[in-house]
Every structure is written in C-alpha cells, then in structure tokens.
Structure 1
Amino acid sequence: MEKTYSTWFVRLNWISLVLIFLVTIAGSFVRITGSGMGCPDWPKCFGQWIPPTDEAVLPDNYKDIYSTKRAKKIEKFSRFLGAIGFQSEAQKIRNDKSLLIEQDFNAQKTWTEYVNRLVGFLAGNAVLLVFLWVIAKYRQRKLVFLATINLIFLMFQAWFGSIVVATNLVPWTITVHLFFALLIIAIQVFILLQVAPSQRIKLPMTAAMR
C-alpha cells in the first residue's frame, strides 16, 4: 500500500519544481542578454539588497572597488582549485587579468540579474520547506535522502553562483552551474514521483500492457 501525502505537501513540491525551472529559464535569459555581470557582487547587488537604477548613486570608483573584491575571491577560488588537483585551471584563472575588468553600469542588465537571483531565493526557500516538512512529518528514508541531497545541491548552487560572478563568467563555471541546475530539477521531479504517484504520466504502451 502506497503512503499518502497531504495535498499541500504535494502542492509545495510542484511549486518547488516550477520555481527551480523558472530559475533555469531566468538564468538562460541572463546569459542570452549578457546580464550575468549586471550585479558585480553576491549575494547583494552593488552592495545593496535592492539594486540601484542609476549609476549616479554609485561611488565614483565603484569599478575599482568591485575589481579589488573580485581579485580576492579569484585568489581564494584558485587556491581551492589547486588544492583539489586542478592546478592548470587555477593558474589560468589566476593569470587572466581580463577577469578583473568591470563592466559599465547598466540598469536593465542589473535588474535582469537581480530578478534571476530573486527567483532563485524563492526556489531555495521552497526546497528548504520541502526538506523541513519531510523531516518533521514523513521521515521516509528515500524521501529524506532526496530532500536532503536536493537542499545540499541547491546550497552548492548558490555558492557556486557567487564563484561564477567572481570569475567574471568563465565558460566552464557556467557549464557546471547549468549542470547542477538540471540535476536539481531531476531530483525534484523524482521527489514528485514519490509523493504524487497518481500524477505520474502513463505511457500508452504501459496502459496497453495492463
């Protein structure tokens, strides 16, 4: 006999899936519009939780400020890569001075990136709620594992998003970022298949065999 789950729990999982998918779509839009560096820092945007709409409100030397911060993050990330055996990539990133070039302020790109982060924040909270709900009420081994691993991957994704920004959109970091986004979607779909079996898609061939 299959375990039944509350309607609201199933709905929360659907909401999580939709939000995660929207983050991926928003990320693609950010990439297409070249808005990835619309916010030069993370998690804030130009040091603010709500980004500016006019360059006039920024310090005159804002490019130097964020370039200096970026250099420190790049050095830390390079040391991390070297420590796990990727000395070649670490050296490339450390020696690539183009990564320190700051873009001119563009309100449209800034807000495009900000909306992407905002949707990501909502998705993260939804996944966290799923995890807490599972721990508090259901505690099934498989479900606990899936909810836990999804939350861990999402936290990694958030951290790695800061690395993508810090390294000024190095191509391979974007690829890794996208890979984990797709992996998180896959896990969330699998969770839904566990909690809402009645909503599984029945293939015609499967139905004919019954």
Structure 2
Amino acid sequence: MAIFKLKYLSIIALVLAFLVVGMGVYTRLTEAGLGCPDWPGCYGHHSVPNSPDEIAKAVAAFPDVPLEPHKAWNEMIHRYLAGSLGLLIFAFALRALISRVDRLLCMSLLLAVIFQAALGMWTVTMNLMPLIVMGHLLGGFFILALLFLFTIKQWPMPRAHIKWRLGLSRFAWLALLVLLCQIALGGWTSSNYAAVVCTQLPLCEGNWWQNYNVSAALHVPEADTYQYGVLDYGARTTIHVSHRIWAVVTALCLVALAITWLLRSQDGLSRGLAWGLLVAVSIQFALGISNVVLQLPLAIAVAHNLVAACLVLLLVSLLLRLYQAKQEQGGRHG
C-alpha cells in the first residue's frame, strides 16, 4: 500500500514542480518578482494584505514599495506552490532515511530545494540580480529533472530493446549540455530584460554586430534594483543575439540526435521519445519566433519555458533508456 501511494505521490510532486516552474516564469514576466518586498511573507504578513488595517501597516513598513495586490498575489501563489512542493520533497527524504531506499536521490532533492529556497529569498533581497534570477530558473529545472528521475524509479520503464553504444551516449550527454547552455542564455536574456531588444529576424535590426560585446553582456554593474534591467542597448543586443545563435545550434544538435536515434533504434519507447524530441524542438522554435514577431506575449513566453522543461525531460529519458540498455547488456563503458 505504501509503495502504491508513493507511485502516485511522485506524479503529484512532478506535476507540482511543473506548476512551480510555470508560475515562476509567469511571476517574472508579469514583473511580480518584487510584488512582495520581503521574504517569505508579504509586507510582513503570511498573505497579501487585504484589510484596511493590514494595508496601512504595509504602507508604513514599506513606504517606498507601493502595494500592487495583483503582483503580490502572483508572487505569493508561486511561494505557496513552491512551499507545498518543498514539504512533499521533505516527506520523500524522511521516508528515504527511514527505509534506506533512494536515499541519495531524495537527499539530493532536499538539498536542491533548500538551496532553491535560498535563491528565491536572494531574488527578493537582492532586487532581481540577474545572476540570482538565472540561477533560480536553472534550480527549478534541476529539481524538476530530479523529481522526474524519482518518478521513473517508482514507475519502471519496460525492457530496453536497443543496443547500447558509447558514441550515442556521448552524443546524448552533449545534447543535454548544449540545451542547458541555451536555457541559461534564455534566463540571462530574461533577467536582463533583453527579450524584446531585437524586433527583426533572423538576428537583429540595424548593424547589430557593431554593438556585439560579450564582455559587456556578462558584466552587470551594481545597482539598487535590477528591475527593468541596468545594461545598455549594446549589451542587451549581444545577449539577445547570442541566445538566437545558440538556439540554432541547439535545435540542430537535438534534431541530429533524434534522427540518429530513429535510424539506429527499433525500440518502441525510444523511437517515441525521439519523435517527441523532434516535435518539441519544432514547437520550441516556433514559440521563439512568435516571441519576437508578437513582442513577447505572456502565454507564448510561459509556454516557451515549459517546452524547454519538456526538452530536458525528453533528453533525460533517452539517457535513462541508454543506461538501462547498458545495464541489461552488461556494458562496461559510458
């Protein structure tokens, strides 16, 4: 019975992690990252101030930060979801310690959640410092991937009818690294408010190469607040163009991996994952173009981040499939 419950709890946790990632993106894109100027509460309360007395106290405590209820609620809903996920992961870790099953994975999850909570706090206390915001995004993806691994362990995959190959394994790992670099670039683009600095395709309008300066794009000067960005036009152009160029590299790498997999594997699940990868890459590329053409509509921008999360999980699934094949075939290299 306990195993039965854990299998379904793992799915609930995975879905909740998706919601947390999605709500985090939504919070950032609606400029609600500082909707509550303190942490973990909101203007000194456990919820968004509502009554006249609570609002008066909030204004007195934070006179320089006017209360905007819709932004504050976006931020607090994100915190409530993240807190619920943290409690669920804590329960997994406690069970793992008692039963001595999945201890490494569950303790890694717990440590990741604790660090992610710290990043969430620093996001507020450091006024949306780009490096912290980008790290917070990557932390969410990392927790999602770990929860996916935990869920897969509760729902074992069928036997792998594929031949393990060292070259394919290395290619899959390379593709994952390339994708993570692209996600980091996307986080850097968003946290520096460079998402709409270029409005034309395929790269940018005008003589963008004259403004291309990697050093300036990586150096963020100190500021009282980083909301709305502190970098100049040239630095933001560099960030945006770099994200577009690496998007092409990422797409080519993922498509090549999927096609290689389809040509070499007759395993039904693996082929399904490869087709899923091709579809997800196509959707992601279309969403990226739509973000430029339509000037970053909220729904498309959120979807762009969630499809990136799906791409990570698809690659993790393919790597797990290869690892499973290696174990079944007694491979010695990898």
Question: TM-score, normalised to structure 1's length?
Answer: 0.71
Task: Kindly indicate whether residue 80 of structure 2 is the aligned counterpart of residue 118 of structure 1.
Answer: yes
* Partner in structure 2 of residue 58 of structure 1: 56
Task: Kindly indicate whether residue 43 of structure 2 is the aligned counterpart of residue 46 of structure 1.
Answer: yes
Cα distance in 1 for partners of 2:269, 2:25 equals 39
Contact 1:16 1:126 in 2 (8 A): yes
Distance 1:167 1:208, change over 3 A: closer
Number of matched pairs: 167
Cα distance in 2 for partners of 1:108, 1:55 equals 16
5 Å-filtered alignment, 1:1-210, equals 6-53=3-50, 57-59=55-57, 60-63=59-62, 102-137=64-99, 139-140=100-101, 143-198=102-157, 205-207=266-268
* TM superposition shift of 1:24: 0.6
* TM superposition shift of 1:111: 0.8
Distance 1:176 1:28, change over 3 A: same
Cα distance in 2 for partners of 1:193, 1:111 equals 34
Distance 1:134 1:164, change over 3 A: same
* TM superposition shift of 1:205: 3.0
Cα distance in 2 for partners of 1:9, 1:38 equals 35
Cα distance in 1 for partners of 2:19, 2:41 equals 20
Greater displacement, 197-206 / 54-63: 197-206
Contact 1:193 1:200 in 2 (8 A): no
* TM superposition shift of 1:136: 2.2
* TM superposition shift of 1:117: 0.4
Cα distance in 2 for partners of 1:29, 1:208 equals 33
SS in 2 for 1:114: helix
* TM superposition shift of 1:7: 1.2
Contact 1:164 1:173 in 2 (8 A): yes
SS in 2 for 1:46: coil
Cα distance in 1 for partners of 2:24, 2:159 equals 28
Deviations along 1:122-156, whole A, 9 cap, x unmatched?
1101111111222223x13xx11010011101011
* TM superposition shift of 1:108: 0.5
Deviations along 1:77-127, whole A, 9 cap, x unmatched?
xxxxxxxxxxxxxxxxxxxxxxxxx43210110111111100011110111
RCO comparison, higher one (Cα < 8 Å, 6+): 1
| Unpaired segments ≥5 residues, structure 1 | 65-101
Distance 1:17 1:201, change over 3 A: farther
Cα distance in 2 for partners of 1:52, 1:186 equals 35
SS in 1 for 2:267: helix
The CA RMSD over aligned residues, in Å, is 2.8
* Partner in structure 1 of residue 257 of structure 2: none
Cα distance in 2 for partners of 1:27, 1:9 equals 26
* TM superposition shift of 1:10: 0.9
Identity among equivalent positions (%) equals 27
Cα distance in 2 for partners of 1:107, 1:168 equals 19
Question: TM-score, normalised to structure 2's length?
Answer: 0.46
Distance 1:34 1:54, change over 3 A: farther
Contact 1:193 1:199 in 2 (8 A): no
Contact 2:14 2:148 in 1 (8 A): yes
